[in-house]
């Protein structure tokens, strides 16, 4: 394994510091793992990734190669520069939360992307008093012409990856979604690890 490779454990979250111009590859090691993603500006954690502004500037409800993640102050934060599976990543649905799992019938507290976001930030010495909407990488949420959304297992395969470029100094938070009640992380309903590789020099070779 590459020395620059780190793991986000199944069902857990982790924060990564990035400088403007840095690239990170997020590898769907087992193929069907949804990765909730957020970015926070290094200079002010109150400036977060915003799916509202992202959809507005991209004029699209999906997130695809070549598109940018915009901040709550409408500044570019991340660009999706490569995507081995050419997916339409979800920007619409909320990160899972304790309450969502209660509504799904879980009697005991269930790990969630919302908790992972705040725990990962705390480990990085940071905190925000709210949970921004997440960019849901690999999450397969097709939208019908009538506006109805579906929730399907990811269309990615083991080893598929995306590469994001930081457009400002920021903290990237990733959550390997712990959803195991519905098949959003695959029919096996088993959350899996993901691999995160900080790339020293990205030459764009993987663009399809
Ligand atoms: Zn989740």
- Residue 204's pLDDT band, with cuts at 50, 70 and 90, is confident
Q: How far is the CA of 51 from the centre of ligand 1 (A)?
A: 16
Q: How far is the CA of 16 from the centre of ligand 1 (A)?
A: 18
Calculate how far, in angstroms, residue 203's C-alpha sits from the geometric centre of ligand 1.
32
State pLDDT tens for residues 142-152: 999 999 999 99
Q: Where are the domains of the chain?
A: 5-199
- Measured distance CA(65)–CA(87) in Å, rounded: 8
Cα 48 from Cα 39, distance rounded (Å): 6
> Which pLDDT score, from 0 to 100, does residue 94 have?
98
Q: What is residue 37's predicted lDDT score, i.e. its pLDDT?
A: 98
% of the chain residues with pLDDT over 70: 97
The answer to whether the beta carbons of residues 89 and 135 sit under 8 Å apart is: yes
For ligand 1, the distance from its centroid to the CA atom of residue 69, given in whole angstroms, is 19
pLDDT tens-digit readout, 43-85: 999 999 999 999 999 999 999 999 999 999 999 999 999 999 9
Query: What's the gap in Å between 56 CA and the centre of ligand 1?
Result: 24
Task: Look at the alpha carbons of 60, 61, 67, 69 in this order and tell me if their dihedral is positive or negative.
Answer: positive
Q: Over 70: is that where the pLDDT of 205 sits?
A: no
Radius of gyration of the chain (CA): 16
Centre of ligand 1 to C-alpha 189, Å, is 12
Residue 201 Cα to ligand 1 middle (Å): 31
C-alpha dihedral sign at 11, 36, 140, 66: negative
pLDDT band of residue 201 (cuts 50, 70, 90) is confident
Q: Give the span between the Cα atoms of 67 and 126, in whole angstroms.
A: 27
| pLDDT value at residue 208 | 42
- What's the gap in Å between 130 CA and the centre of ligand 1? 16
Instruction: Please state, in angstroms and as integers, the Cα–Cα distance from residue 10 to each residue in 21, 71, 125, 192, 194, following that order.
Output: 28, 27, 22, 4, 7
The residue-averaged pLDDT of 148-169 equals 97
Query: pLDDT grade, residue 114 (50/70/90)?
Result: very high
Q: How far is the CA of 95 from the centre of ligand 1 (A)?
A: 5
Ligand 1 centroid distance, CA of 125 (Å):
22
Tell me the CA–centroid distance for residue 116 and ligand 1, in Å: 9
Residue 1: the pLDDT is 55
205: CA distance to ligand 1 center in Å?
A: 31
Q: How far is the CA of 63 from the centre of ligand 1 (A)?
A: 18
Q: Across the chain, what does the average pLDDT equal?
A: 95
């Amino acid at each position: 394994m590459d020395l620059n490779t780190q793991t986000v454990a199944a069902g857990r979250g982790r924060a990564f510091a990035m400088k403007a111009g840095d690239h990170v590859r997020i590898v769907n090691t087992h193929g069907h793992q949804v990765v909730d993603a957020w970015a926070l500006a290094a200079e002010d954690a109150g400036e977060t990734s915003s799916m509202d502004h992202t959809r507005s500037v991209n004029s699209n409800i999906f997130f695809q190669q070549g598109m940018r993640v915009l901040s709550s102050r409408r500044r570019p934060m991340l660009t999706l520069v490569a995507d081995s599976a050419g997916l339409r990543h979800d920007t619409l649905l909320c990160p899972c939360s304790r309450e969502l799992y209660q509504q799904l019938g879980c009697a005991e507290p269930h790990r969630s992307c919302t908790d992972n976001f705040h725990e990962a930030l705390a480990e990085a010495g940071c905190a925000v008093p709210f949970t921004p909407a997440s960019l849901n990488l690999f999450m397969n949420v097709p939208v019908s012409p009538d506006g109805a959304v579906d929730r399907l297992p990811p269309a990615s395969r083991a080893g598929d990856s995306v590469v994001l470029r930081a457009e400002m100094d920021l903290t990237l938070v990733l959550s390997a979604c712990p959803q195991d009640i519905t098949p959003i992380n695959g029919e096996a309903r088993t959350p899996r690890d993901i691999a995160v590789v900080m790339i020293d020099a990205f030459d764009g070779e993987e663009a399809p």
